Amino acid sequence: MTVYSRRDFLKGSLAAGAGLTAGVGLPRILAAQAKDPIKIGVLHSLSGTMAISEVSLRDVVLMAVEEINEKGGVLGRKLQPVVVDPASNWDLFAEKAKQLLLQDKVAVVFGCWTSVSRKSVLPVFENNNGLLFYPVQYEGEECSKNVFYTGATPNQQLIPAAEYLMSKEGGGYKKFYLLGTDYVFPRTANKILRAYLRAKGVPADSIEEEYTPFNHQDYQTIVGKIKRFASGGNAAVLSTINGDSNVPFYKEFANQGLRSENAPIMAFSVAEDELRGMDTSALVGHLAAWNYYQSVDTPQNRKFVQAFKAYAKKQNLPGGDRRVTDDPMEAAYFGVHIWKQAVEKTRATDVDAVRKAVYGQEFVAPGGKIKMDEANHHTYKPVLIGEILKDGQFKIVSRSKGLVKAEPWSEYTSPDKGCDWVKHKGTYQKKA
């Protein structure tokens, strides 16, 4: 943490003021030629409800920046992160994004977690031609020229998970209880899951769908319903429950005598970082679907996990070396590196040039090699199904063969739509 004195602040404000007045007239090129640092924005909530998840993303982005700076920066220029706090307030996200793009003139922004915050900043990035790297799995149905999505689309998380449960290897489940928190991601996710299950021949009366509000705590009625639903066997729960509702849900599930052997819960929003604050005893044996786990056993990942723990300790972050890494953190981390590679390829930080350079960019991420799509702004990723262990880590029980291409428009709900920024202008209608 840097401590600013009042004098620094005054100097900074004066410089910023001068820059604002002078910047209009001066040719931009001057600023680019100087060995000034490149400014990058970090737009994650550091307070409010989402802070629990988003603070870790800020930490890992700053760690990536530090790594890059230690190796000499990008194009010989250091990276200078501008960290702002949108405070889990969706309107504030748009405001802070505007500030980053117009006032701080950052070259790129790494940020957002919830879909509603991304939707809130989207017009800002599109109107001002900014560049956002968004690191969280999401519901798809979006294809913006100004956003790179390094998290999973439904076909890289939801569909493989359902497929796994239906397979002989996964237990051959035939009935599915779709349970989620009531907001856009679970609603869209369940729409896609339902369409997929129906397409695979699951009858409508073998699918139940239910939503609870954020922070819901009392799951006794719902678990009672699941128990009756699962009584014939062959039933699994697909859970998009978010945040701290998970603890009471899993506890009640275990207490009413349901066990992962007979009715497993496949979770799409429970990762290592969330498990840190939970008593995991009731969750052991249940499943999750992600594209990365801390337990991925590669030399790069061991290095990454160690580096992050060391970084957390060095920076005196809460949790210190007991901190863990998870899927969105990995996606945020390699997002920074992808952007760096693209800048080095074009030798400029200009958004349009960088955007084109990102297409097809490859990087050996902690979880294995990933690749940016050539046209649709999403990421080729592996899909991993993990089983929750007592220590809050995951045992990987199934992995996809190679990398899976991202489909922002699910073939099950929007078979006629595609996303392409090379041959088309974003979302387009596929010809029949």
Partner 1 sequence: MRRLLVAVLASLAALGPGGAGAAPPGGDADPLLADLATGSADQREAAVTALGQTGDPRWLALLGALRDGAVFARTRGGRTEVVVAGTKSTRGDEDLVEIQSAYARASLGVVAVADLAEVAADRRLRLAIKPFLDAEEVRGQLRDADPAVRRAAAVKLGHQASPAAAPGIEATLAAEGDRWVRHALAEALALIHLADPDPARRAAAARRLGELRSMNAVAALQRLAAAAASAAERAAAARALKRIERWTLLTTSLETAFQGASLASILVLMALGLAIVFGLMAVINMAHGELMALGAYSTFVVQNWFRAVAPASLDLYFLVALPVAFLVAAAVGVALERGVIRRLYGRPLETLLLTWGASLIIQQGLRLWFGAANVDVAAPRWLSGGLPVMVGLTLPWNRLFIIGLAAVAVIAMYALLFRTGAGLRIRAVTQNRAMSACLGVRAGAVDAVTFGLGAGLAGLAGCALTQIGNVGPSARTTSSTRSWWW
Q: Which residues would be at the binding site for partner 1 (CB under 8 A)?
A: 47, 51-52, 168-169, 213, 215-218, 220-221, 224, 228, 231-234, 244, 247-248, 251-252, 254-257, 259, 261-262, 276-279, 281-282, 297, 299, 302, 318, 395
Q: Which residue, 150 or 260, has its beta carbon nearer to partner 1? A: 260
Nearer to partner 1, 183 or 359 (CB): 183
Rounded to a whole number of angstroms, the distance between the first and last alpha carbons of the chain is 57
Nearest to 145, CA basis, from 390, 356, 398 = 356
- Map tokens 């052997």 to a residue: 261
Considering the complex, state which of residue 50 and residue 192 has its C-beta at the smaller distance from partner 1: 50
CB of 238 to partner 1, least distance (A): 19
Phi/psi at 308 (5° precision): -70, -45
- What's the min distance (Å) between Cβ of 44 and partner 1? 14
- Residue 341 parent element (H or E): helix 327-346
Closer to partner 1 at the Cβ: 76 or 299? 299
**39 or 369: CB nearest partner 1:** 369
For partner 1, the closer of residues 52 and 83 by Cβ is: 52
Other Cβ atoms less than 10 A from the Cβ of 231: the count is 10
Closest CB to partner 1 among 127 and 231? 231
Choose between 323 and 340: whose C-beta lies nearer to partner 1. 323
| CA distances for 162 relative to 148, 236, 332, angstroms | 26, 9, 26
Residue 290: closest CA among 181, 404, 158: 158
Beta bridge partners of 2: none
Polymer length in residues for the chain: 432
Centre a 10 Å sphere on the Cβ of residue 55 and count the other Cβ atoms it contains: 19
CB of 252 to partner 1, least distance (A): 7
Q: How far is the CB of 398 from partner 1 (least distance, A)?
A: 8
Helix (H) or strand (E) holding 287, with range, is strand 287-290
Which phi and psi (to 5°) does residue 353 adopt? Answer: -70, -45
Instruction: Give the number of other Cβ atoms within 10 Å of residue 391's Cβ.
Output: 12
Q: Which residues pair with 109 in a beta bridge?
A: 41, 132
Task: Using alpha carbons, select from 109, 120, 133, 131 the residue that is nearest to residue 43.
Answer: 109
Least Å distance, CB 42 to partner 1, is 19
Residues 405, 383 contacting (CB under 8 angstroms): no
Look up tokens 């769908």; give the residue: 209
Taking the CB of residue 228, how many other CB atoms lie within 10 A of it?
Answer: 9
For partner 1, the closer of residues 233 and 402 by Cβ is 233
Q: How far apart are alpha carbons 225 and 219 in whole angstroms?
A: 10
Distances (CA, A) of 119 to 30, 112, 116: 35, 10, 5
| In the complex, least distance from residue 21 CB atom to partner 1, rounded to whole angstroms | 40
Taking the complex as a whole, how short is the minimal distance between the CB of residue 49 and partner 1, in angstroms? 9
CB of 10 to partner 1, least distance (A): 30
Least Cβ distance, residue 169 to partner 1 (angstroms): 6
* Of residues 103 and 281, the one with the C-beta less far from partner 1: 281
For the CB of residue 279, give the shortest distance to partner 1 in the complex, in Å.
4
Give, for 255, the enclosing helix (H) or strand (E). helix 246-255
